[in-house]
Amino acid sequence: MQEQYRTVARAGVHETEINRSRFICALAPAATEQEAQEFVARVRREHPAASHNCFAYVIGADASVQKASDDGEPGGTAGVPMLQMLTRREMRYVVAVVTRYYGGVKLGAGGLIRAYGGAVGEALDTVGTLTRQRFRLATVTVDHQRAGRLENELRATGRTVREVRYAEAVTIEIGLPDADVGEFRRWLADATAGEAELELGGEDYGDA
């Protein structure tokens, strides 16, 4: 698995004009290919009079799903440069739609490639990106007496506390980089006088 990946910080739109053609790039995070396709369909509904609604998306931390469409532009001049911009920036779980309103001046193949790829690059700069780091999920079980203090210490030491559940005992779900598991076991034993239990789970990604 990838140790980390980059994605967009939020959904957003950036517009630029080139030789009287408007290029509107809409970006959004997408957890699945279906979410990406639904976003493309939504943008198309918002711009029914546009000359083209070209798209590209990358799904999976390892970029296992990559799709692009020129939507009527000359082959390889729109969707592919958009996809290349996403992969060059190492973007994952992201969808980009560039809507073009033709302004009457032909750009040529090279001009289109620069325009569509550039629209995505400018939108990424405007919307902002964030890095997500691979974590090992772990559950700490502790008694009520120690729970509040332990939770505070976890947060104070920069640990990623994902969820806290109160029952007969208190379970605190955290995210740990794999390399930190051994050190964390020792820290937890010291912090709770050996009274807490640690159970390792699967893997997920969180903010780096």
| pLDDT one-digit tens code per residue, 180-196 | 889 999 999 999 999 99
Cα 101 to Cα 21: distance, rounded to the nearest angstrom: 6
Tell me how far apart the terminal alpha carbons of the chain are, to the nearest angstrom. Answer: 16
Looking up tokens 């996403």 gives: 86
Q: Give the strand pairing for 4-8 and 129-142.
A: antiparallel
pLDDT one-digit tens code per residue, 61-120: 899 999 999 999 999 999 999 999 999 999 999 999 999 999 999 999 999 999 999 999
Find, among 75, 67, 82, the residue nearest to 23 by Cα.
Answer: 82
- Structural domains in the chain plus CATH codes: 4-127 (3.30.230.30), 132-207 (3.30.70.240)
pLDDT one-digit tens code per residue, 6-63: 999 899 999 999 999 999 999 999 999 999 999 999 999 999 999 999 999 999 989 9
Cα 186 to Cα 189: distance, rounded to the nearest angstrom: 5
CA 7 remoteness from chain centre: 3
Residue 77, SS3 per DSSP = coil
Cα 66 to Cα 58: distance, rounded to the nearest angstrom: 5
